[in-house]
Amino acid sequence: MAWSQIVLAVGVALTSLPALVLSCKVVDWQPMSFPEQVAAAQIVVHARVLDKVNGTYGHWPYAYRGVLRVYCVFKGGPLPASITVDEMGRLTSCHHTKVDIGEDYILLLKRDGGMFLPDEVNYLSVAFPADQDHFDQVSRTCSLSNFTSLASTDPASQPGCVVNRTETGSSACLGSSSASHRQSYSLLAVVFAVFTFVQALLV
């Protein structure tokens, strides 16, 4: 095979590869910690991946839609109990949030029109292990470390970063549905309502 034919074949092969094999180049890129990414993201959830299906832009099986069961909405809710997130997997070199079926994750998401997408605020994967360390970091970032304290759920401390329930009404407190947490959250709501009512009377 002539040298020119080899070069042509290599060129065709490279142009046929999805963009994911190329390195991601972002001007003035700076690292962000997990809490910083949580604070910057539109939506933060604890969810399980039920399935992966072909995505809007192809590149299957490298890129796909993730079908999720949402257990907990830390930020940006309420959300349906089941959602489909497009543009998951290795769509391009700068978009590569990969997940596995049957695994639980803390995911950073965003809405784009009628779709949910990964909110890759720092051009990195935003699928994090649903382990206690990450739960604790979300809790601290969203001021949720103590469910019995009014200060722990003060929206003013982290605007838009509070525990929400899914649209089915299931518990959304750090993945826990224990009665003690539900009762504490209900008590907080009652106390806050009484405080607001008294404050209105004094005005």
Domain boundaries, the chain: 29-198
How far is Cα 170 from Cα 176, in angstroms, rounded to an integer? 10
pLDDT tens readout for residues 73-112: 888 878 888 999 999 999 887 888 999 999 999 999 999 9
Contacts of 86 (CB under 8 A, 6+ apart): 55, 56, 65, 115, 116, 117
What does CATH list as the number for 29-198? 2.40.50.120
62, 89 Cβ separation under 8 angstroms? yes
pLDDT of residue 49: 97
Strands in the chain per DSSP E: 43-54, 63-75, 82-92, 95-97, 104-112, 115-118, 127-129
Query: How many angstroms separate the CA atoms of 53 and 70, rounded?
Result: 17
- Residue 1's pLDDT is 52
203: pLDDT confidence band, cut at 50, 70 and 90? low
